[in-house]
Amino acid sequence: MYPTRLIEYEDASDEVRQVYDDIMATRKIDKVNNFWKALANHPVTLLRTWDSLKEVMSPGELDPLTKELIYIAVSVTNNCEYCIHSHTKAATKKGLSPQGFGELLAVIAMANETNRLANGYQVPVD
Amino acid sequence: MYPTRLIEYEDASDEVRQVYDDIMATRKIDKVNNFWKALANHPVTLLRTWDSLKEVMSPGELDPLTKELIYIAVSVTNNCEYCIHSHTKAATKKGLSPQGFGELLAVIAMANETNRLANGYQVPVD
Amino acid sequence: MYPTRLIEYEDASDEVRQVYDDIMATRKIDKVNNFWKALANHPVTLLRTWDSLKEVMSPGELDPLTKELIYIAVSVTNNCEYCIHSHTKAATKKGLSPQGFGELLAVIAMANETNRLANGYQVPVD
Amino acid sequence: MYPTRLIEYEDASDEVRQVYDDIMATRKIDKVNNFWKALANHPVTLLRTWDSLKEVMSPGELDPLTKELIYIAVSVTNNCEYCIHSHTKAATKKGLSPQGFGELLAVIAMANETNRLANGYQVPVD
Amino acid sequence: MYPTRLIEYEDASDEVRQVYDDIMATRKIDKVNNFWKALANHPVTLLRTWDSLKEVMSPGELDPLTKELIYIAVSVTNNCEYCIHSHTKAATKKGLSPQGFGELLAVIAMANETNRLANGYQVPVD
Amino acid sequence: MYPTRLIEYEDASDEVRQVYDDIMATRKIDKVNNFWKALANHPVTLLRTWDSLKEVMSPGELDPLTKELIYIAVSVTNNCEYCIHSHTKAATKKGLSPQGFGELLAVIAMANETNRLANGYQVPVD
């Protein structure tokens, strides 16, 4: 199945194009990322994932930048290279500065450290 | 080594008490959490971890609540039960509402999902 | 130790060649994958791993394709690029269709998502 | 936020009850699991997760039992205790025998082992 | 399948008893741990796992205590509670002191931290 | 933020140069690794991480080679490519032989396997 075929707009079915159109309109961009072009190999996953992401990442009690930082924290912990790149780019567009990025990585790294201290000492919940 | 001995203030060395005093003063609380009482079994780790955490979690470009949310994102991804409990409590004290908590978990969970879609399709970085 | 030396058949000891021969005979292929050529740097690991894999992946109550899907689920969750590639190729040879692959990734991704919802809410076992 | 409040049917809003009703009808059971009662604290997550799970776990090229096995593979790898329990129970109802369960765990465990051999030797993709 | 039935010596088949006997003789103990009693539900896994573990943990270039420390490092990183307990007990019997345990956890935790700094900055291999 | 700018000595601030000087003096090398050049983008992280690493990796009850092996065990489990490379190189300089490396990977891999058997059977602590 590799390399994954990336489905371009001009080769996409109407169903897929509708999702692409909605992504571009929602994000005010004129092309979709490789992630979506890969998911288009399984259109129900493309549609469901986009619908979910649009709902989950929309502003609520937590603002969109904070949500991107949370996304980066998960992606760095899991070491998903693609996700680290795309969400760092998104966070930058939403205002993350290089200084803020440095702080973000420091917190992520430290949390991974203290998680293991808590595991290793088998600390009982307070 | 289990169950880990939790070192209480009255049983602690002067070196450990100094750290406990600084934790309580910095956080304006009157007792330290089990995590610190466990680390006190290895005083250099206690001192170094507290110094690091104090620096990393202090306000900067990112505010303290945002830093707690990042901590929770890592802890939920790693499934560190102790850390999930203690940082959720800390975030609540800093203003996280039940609605915000629901949004936070939704983002964390979704990021773990899309990380695997990106892995599984081996999506090339844009 | 890097790049890992890949031990080719013509450079291998008799002990290693015997394993290579058994891999090729069992799988009806005429060359062994890089994974085995890397393990050959530590022949006892090569022999033990092949013996174990042959036993574990042989047909039982679960059929060989199902076992490959389980292998992919673990490898995508751990983000082992080599393993994702080799077991996807193996599953394809055993009949996994592109549609089935899309379903597989959807389940893997969703399981990673709901694992974190269960962690985050600290849901008690029913 | 802990212990998480589990929202019982009689205390649930109409919106939540509708999801509970659909879960019970779809699965032909007369009470919902704790997982759903926990998600009900954030109704949009409850609704979205149920809609997604219903779609993802429905029969396709992969049959429902195979999908449960994949779910278990992810949950064991991530060590999500709740998820291991609930999906093992679900798989048993769909026909997984104790012998099949033993084979499943053997494959999951072995995949986690060979993932690290591939990582450790930094094996290049074939 | 839960709670897992732990197969006691008196209830075990001859095949399982032989493995139990070998575990007790090799380790100079007079009862086997729960881990083996659980694996006995799938005798081929019991036999294979014990054979592998005996080979892998036997003295070589690395001494048995060092091998236990490596085991703990993996188990703490994966947060396998059972494994943390059993291998810490084994390491203690082989001479790990409380001070050494403190150093061990400090290294494990720090490695988990710097792993994420390397991921987060996407540092290229030297 | 990518590709991460690697800060060379000649472009570094005095604060960063002091850390670089200390790294080179402590390790008796004449250039610093990319890891440190990346961290220099956030000087407080550079300083704190180096101070911590120097303390954690210094000889104690555990010798420096053993500490490197533990570092590799974590890095292979997390699949941090950069960290696997740099700590394997460091361990080799401290005396790890190819045979010892083979044993190390065998233990790491096996621990990842038995961690999942313990998870999967939900084995109770002895």
pLDDT tens per residue, range C6-16: 999 999 999 99
User: What is the average pLDDT across A27-49?
Assistant: 97
Q: What pLDDT, on the 0 to 100 scale, is given for residue B51?
A: 98
Please list every residue in chain C whose beta carbon sits closer than 8 Å to the beta carbon of residue D94.
none
Helices (H), C32-97: 34-39, 43-57, 64-78, 81-93
User: What is the average pLDDT across F44-52?
Assistant: 98
Residue F16 confidence (pLDDT) above 90: yes
How many H-runs (helices) and E-runs (strands) does chain F carry? 6, 0
Based on the fold, state whether residues A44 and A65 are members of the same structural domain.
no
What do you get for the CA distance between the two ends of chain D, in Å?
49
Residue D15 confidence (pLDDT) above 90: yes
Residues 6+ apart with CB under 8 A from D76: D84, D105, D108, F116, F119, F120
Based on the fold, state whether residues F69 and F42 are members of the same structural domain.
no
- Indicate the number of domains in chain C: 2
3-state secondary structure of C30: coil
**Residues A56 and B107: beta-carbon distance below 8 Å:** yes
3-state secondary structure of B80: coil
Q: Which of E80, E88, E116 to mutate to test the interface with F (most CBs of F within 10 A)?
A: E80
State chain D's mean pLDDT as an integer: 97
Residues 6+ apart with CB under 8 A from D17: D9
Residue A18 confidence (pLDDT) above 90: yes
D52–A55: do the CB atoms touch at under 8 Å?
Answer: no
Based on the fold, state whether residues C48 and C99 are members of the same structural domain.
no
Mean pLDDT for each 10-residue chunk of chain B (126 residues)?
95 98 96 98 98 97 98 98 98 97 98 98 97
Based on the fold, state whether residues B115 and B66 are members of the same structural domain.
yes
F48–B52: do the CB atoms touch at under 8 Å?
Answer: yes
Domain at C94, CATH number: 1.20.1290.10
Angle value at C-alpha E98, between E96 and E101, nearest 5 degrees: 65
Based on the fold, state whether residues E54 and E91 are members of the same structural domain.
no
Based on the fold, state whether residues C49 and C83 are members of the same structural domain.
no
Based on the fold, state whether residues F79 and F50 are members of the same structural domain.
no
Confidence of residue A31 (pLDDT cuts 50, 70, 90): very high
How distant is the Cα of E124 from the closest Cα of chain F, in angstroms?
7
- Partner residue facing A98 (CB), from F1, F48, F80: F1
User: What is the average pLDDT across F18-26?
Assistant: 98
- Partner residue facing A118 (CB), from B2, B35, B73: B35
Confidence of residue E94 (pLDDT cuts 50, 70, 90): very high
Residue D62 confidence (pLDDT) above 90: yes
Q: Which domain holds residue F81?
A: 60-126
State chain C's mean pLDDT as an integer: 97
Please list every residue in chain D whose beta carbon sits closer than 8 Å to the beta carbon of residue F112.
112-113, 115-116
C124–D82: do the CB atoms touch at under 8 Å?
Answer: yes
State chain A's mean pLDDT as an integer: 97
pLDDT tens per residue, range E5-40: 999 999 999 999 999 999 999 999 999 999 999 999
Interface chains of chain D (3 or more CB pairs under 8 Å): A, B, C, E, F
Chain A, chain C: beta-carbon pairs less than 8 Å apart: 23
Q: What pLDDT, on the 0 to 100 scale, is given for residue C1?
A: 81
Q: Domain ends where: F58, F81, F106?
A: F58
User: What is the average pLDDT across E95-124?
Assistant: 98
Based on the fold, state whether residues E28 and E53 are members of the same structural domain.
yes
Q: In this structure, which long-range contacts are made by residues F45-49, counting pairs with CB atoms below 8 Å and at least 24 apart in sequence?
A: F45/A102, F45/A105, F45/A106, F45/E117, F46/F16, F46/F19, F47/F15, F47/F19, F48/A106, F48/B52, F48/B55, F48/B56, F49/E113, F49/E114, F49/E117
Interface chains of chain F (3 or more CB pairs under 8 Å): A, B, C, D, E
Residue F1 confidence (pLDDT) above 90: no
Based on the fold, state whether residues D75 and D41 are members of the same structural domain.
no
B41–E88: do the CB atoms touch at under 8 Å?
Answer: no
Based on the fold, state whether residues E28 and E67 are members of the same structural domain.
no
Half-sphere exposure of D93 (CA within 13 A, CB side): 11
Q: Domain ends where: F15, F35, F58?
A: F58
3-state secondary structure of D55: helix
Residues 6+ apart with CB under 8 A from F2: A85, A88, E122
Q: Domain ends where: F58, F77, F98?
A: F58
ipTM: 0.97
Based on the fold, state whether residues A54 and A96 are members of the same structural domain.
no
User: What is the average pLDDT across E53-63?
Assistant: 97
Cα–Cα nearest to C102, from A49, D83, D108, D51: A49
- Partner residue facing A55 (CB), from D44, D55, D56: D44
**Residues F77 and E77: beta-carbon distance below 8 Å:** yes
Based on the fold, state whether residues C66 and C43 are members of the same structural domain.
no
Residues 6+ apart with CB under 8 A from B101: B88, B91, B92, D1, D42
Q: Rounded to whole angstroms, how far apart are CA atoms C2 and F92?
A: 11
Q: What pLDDT, on the 0 to 100 scale, is given for residue A74?
A: 98
Cα–Cα nearest to B69, from B30, B108, B39, B15: B108
Residue D12 confidence (pLDDT) above 90: yes
- How far are the Cα atoms of C35, E124, F117 from residue D124, in angstroms, in the given order? 8, 17, 28
Q: How many CB atoms lie within 10 A of CB D91?
A: 23
